[in-house]
Copies of this chain bind each other. A is one copy, B any other.
Amino acid sequence: MCSVGDDFWKSSGRLADGREIIYFDESPGLGRASVPDRRPLTEVPAVTAPPGGPGQDLASAGLRWDALAGEWVIIAAQRQDRTFLPPPTECPLDPSGPGRLTEIPAPGYDVVVFENRFPSLRGLPPAAPGGSVAADAPAGAGPPETGGVPGRPPTGRCEVVCFTADHQASFASLPPRRVRTVLEAWADRTSVLGATPGIKQVYCFENRGEEIGVTLHHPHGQIYGFPFVTPRTASMLGQVKAHAAAGRGNLFDVMVAGEEAAGTRVISRNEHWIAFVPAAARWPYEVLLFPLRRVPSIPALGEAARAAFCDIYPELLRRFDALFGMPLPYIAAWHQAPAGDEFACREFALHLQVFSIRRAPGKLKYLAGTESGMGVWINDITPEEAAHELREAR
């Protein structure tokens, strides 16, 4: 399978155990997807779960309904033995080479996406007649395996995105052309997974740094296809709805306009994007990057906004690294509208949230009693001071 984008070439194949792999090439005719995976992997058994039923062993993997919080929790005990900080010579995200077979069979790649070998979500429920799938919140008690607590199979999708074949690189060091290819991969996966029955929300993100638990150093991100709308997105949508219902306009628009007007927390901007520390930042260094023209998701970004992203985002990440003169651990999270939600499609504002848990060279921000117990965040740095430092850091 091969398709051609504006300036990239997409082709897909299968790994030895049946997982999908998708190459996003910056030049045509490389034939990477046709390089076979020669590893002796066992085929991953298909998940065949009837909508709403258990259908598989919930003992080690499953979604559990947290009734006190009204949220799904993912149990993924089968991942406990996943690859953990391998030496550089055994990096599974490098391209394959002579005598060394990795997750990527091709001898090179630009950007590549493949299904995670240790997924916490996997398989999709067959669509019920009419295309609907199991409801978000369960009614009544669930299967006996979970002691009367509603549960369901951990359906969904977990993908890995490698940003470059260069093991030593970082997102901040990618040239604009490569950032664009990554952006196109995110857009493609958002469209494809968002149109998949059973997937309610597509989430593209990057974890960077051992300090936040990254187990592989190779520059990469992840893409989740959740079978439910996430708590964070549901809460944002609730706030946006209430704001609109009160006749006060679109909450995102009001917020971005307010930050632009105040200026004290703005880090950088160009013709299409603005980056600022939110007034009620939770993390020591937290930045929101909004397109100036509101769109609900990455695929809805226009050509000019896509091009303008490729400069402003790596530049923002370089400010993060310049802050303390060391690679800053960070999480970069794309907030997008849930798939197929009409209100969200009209009113949600795509944005990228980038934040670090480092609050000083020798100090991390921990989520302790107030945050983890009560959901109350305490931030030790004022958003205005954080913005000032990030503006100065180059």
By a beta-carbon cutoff of 8 Å, the part of chain A in contact with chain B is 59-60, 64-77, 79-80, 84, 120, 141, 146-149, 151, 203, 205-207, 212-214, 222, 224, 226, 230-233, 235-236, 238-240, 242-243, 251-252, 255, 258-259, 261-265, 278-282, 331, 333, 335, 353, 355, 359-360, 363-370, 372-385
Contact = CB atoms under 8 A, between A and B. Distances in A.
Contact of A373 (B203, B258, B384): B203
B77 A230 contact: no
A364 B367 CA distance: 13
25 contacts: A59-B382, A59-B384, A64-B279, A64-B383, A66-B280, A68-B239, A68-B255, A69-B239, A71-B377, A73-B377, A74-B376, A74-B379, A75-B383, A80-B359, A80-B381, A148-B261, A149-B258, A203-B370, A205-B369, A207-B368, A212-B368, A224-B370, A233-B374, A331-B369, A367-B367
Contacts of A151: 279
A77 B259 contact: no
A73 B224 contact: no
A168 to B, nearest CB: 22
A71 B375 contact: yes
Given A68-B236, A80-B360, A259-B147, A230 B374 contact: yes
Nearest to A142: B279
A278 B66 contact: yes
Contact of A374 (B203, B255, B381): B203
Instruction: Give the most central of A70, A71, A380: most B CB within 10 Å.
Output: A380
Nearest to A376: B230
Nearest to A373: B333
A385 B62 CA distance: 14
